[in-house]
Structure formats: structure tokens, C-alpha cells
Amino acid sequence: MSKGIADRSDGELAALCLAGQRRAFAEIVRRHKAPLHRLVARLIGDEEEALDVVQEAFVSAHDALRRYDPARPMRAWLARIAINKARDWRRRRMVRRLISVVLPLDHALDAADDVPSIETQAADRQELDRVAAALATLPGNLREVLVLRTIEGLNQAETAGILAISEKAVETRLYRARQKLADRLGDTA
């Protein structure tokens, strides 16, 4: 009795995809899209933009599938790609902001960031918005560790592997991130 696509391991799906089976990569996307979207949305602070960033991450993953090591968790491999895409998105956003400041006002509109939807702005999530805003002010290296460890629930070794840093660096960054976040939120704990 042969296995269906949904019953395959991530490593088996990668091999099938490399052999030309498109449905195999579609299953990889189905399995990992939601956690990657949560991760990226928390890193960049924009749910809608996160969809585009995650799509870019999957395109890059598909192109780099030959470099995937089936002995390692695919989630960690994909998360690393998604984090890199989120970093790229933040850099592009900073450039757009700089251009909007430097260019005359009539040209600045062409480079301005997308404004969140009215529904998003009108949502009654003041506390969540306050925490998200404070999280967004953290330096990227601290925000990434905090999101992966605290929100995504990865352990120290997994976080270290995704970010290509030592477990001690994860511990240090997590401590600093929590301190800075508490300061920004006005907590004393």
C-alpha cells in the first residue's frame, strides 16, 4: 500500500518535488504556511505584507530545495529563509521611508509605505497593538529571538539553529529582549 502525499515526511516531499511532482511542494506549503505567516507577521508587524514575504520565502525555498538537508527539520529551514526575507522587507521599507523624506512631496507618495486597512486600524485590540508596537521597536536580532522562543515556542537549540547563533547567544538576546520590551511597556518586572 503506497503512501499518499499528505502521509509523506517533509524529506520525502522534498525528494518528490525534486523528481518533478508539483503536488509535493504544494503539501510542503500547506503544512508550513500558517506557522511561517505567524512568524513573519510578528517580525514585520504587518499581516498583509507578511503574506507576500512568506510567498517570497516559499519561492526561494523551492529554488533552493536541492540544498535542503532531510535530516534536519524543514520548519527550521523554512523559518530561516522566511526570517531572511523579513529582514530584506525591513531594509526595503527603511529605504522607502528615506526616499519619502528626501524626495519632494509629489514624488514621496510613490515611495510611501502601504497603509494598513481600515478594518485593521479600527479593530479594538489596543493592548495587543501596544505590545506589537513595543515589539516592533526592538532591534531585529532581539525581536527574532523573542518571537521564535516566546511566541513560536521553539526551544533554545532550534532557535539557535534557525538564526545560526550559539545557544548562549539565544539566552542572552532573549534576556535583553524581555528587559527592553518590559521597559517599553512600562513594566517593572
- Taking CA atoms, 82 is separated from 59, 78, 103, 105, 128, in Å, by 10, 6, 31, 33, 23
91 shares its domain with 141: no
Of 119, 154, 178, the residue that ends a domain is 119
Is 54 in contact with 33 (CB distance < 8 Å)? Answer: yes
71 shares its domain with 26: yes
Of 102, 119, 136, the residue that ends a domain is 119
113 shares its domain with 156: no
Can you tell me the distance from the alpha carbon of 37 to that of 107, in angstroms, rounded to the nearest whole number?
32
**92 has a pLDDT exceeding 80:** no
Please indicate, yes or no, if residue 3 is contained in any of the structural domains: no
Work out how many domains the chain is built from and give that number: 2
12 shares its domain with 75: yes
Can you tell me the distance from the alpha carbon of 56 to that of 109, in angstroms, rounded to the nearest whole number?
25
32 shares its domain with 92: yes
pTM over 0.85: no
35 shares its domain with 115: yes
- Taking CA atoms, 156 is separated from 143, 161, 163, 172, 180, in Å, by 15, 9, 11, 11, 20
- Angle, alpha carbons 14-30-42 (nearest 5°): 110
Helix axes 156-163, 74-102, angle to 10 degrees: 50
95 shares its domain with 144: no
Of 75, 92, 119, the residue that ends a domain is 119
Please indicate, yes or no, if residue 1 is contained in any of the structural domains: no
In the three-class reduction of DSSP (H, G, I as helix; E, B as strand; rest coil), residue 163 is classed as: helix
108 shares its domain with 189: no
The set of long-range contacts for 179-187, using a CB threshold of 8 Å and a minimum separation of 24, is: 180/138, 180/142, 181/131, 181/134, 181/135, 181/138, 181/146, 184/134, 184/137, 184/138, 185/130, 185/131, 185/134
Q: Is 60 exposed, middle or buried (0-12, 13-18, 19+ CB in 10 A)?
A: middle
98 shares its domain with 140: no
Can you tell me the distance from the alpha carbon of 27 to that of 23, in angstroms, rounded to the nearest whole number?
6
CATH code for position 150:
1.10.10.10
The model's pLDDT over 144-161, given as tens digits with 9 standing for 90+, comes to: 998 888 877 788 999 999
153 shares its domain with 109: no
The model's pLDDT over 121-143, given as tens digits with 9 standing for 90+, comes to: 444 356 666 777 888 888 999 99
Grid cell locating 156? 533554545
Please indicate, yes or no, if residue 27 is contained in any of the structural domains: yes
Range of the structural domain that residue 134 is part of:
124-189
- Band the pLDDT of 81: cuts 50, 70, 90: very high
69 shares its domain with 129: no
Phi then psi for 107, rounded to 5 degrees?
Answer: -85, -25
Cell numbers 530561516 label which residue?
80
The model's pLDDT over 25-68, given as tens digits with 9 standing for 90+, comes to: 999 999 999 999 999 999 988 888 999 999 999 999 999 999 99
60 shares its domain with 152: no
Give the per-residue pLDDT at 169: 94
Please indicate, yes or no, if residue 69 is contained in any of the structural domains: yes
CATH code for position 83:
1.10.1740.10
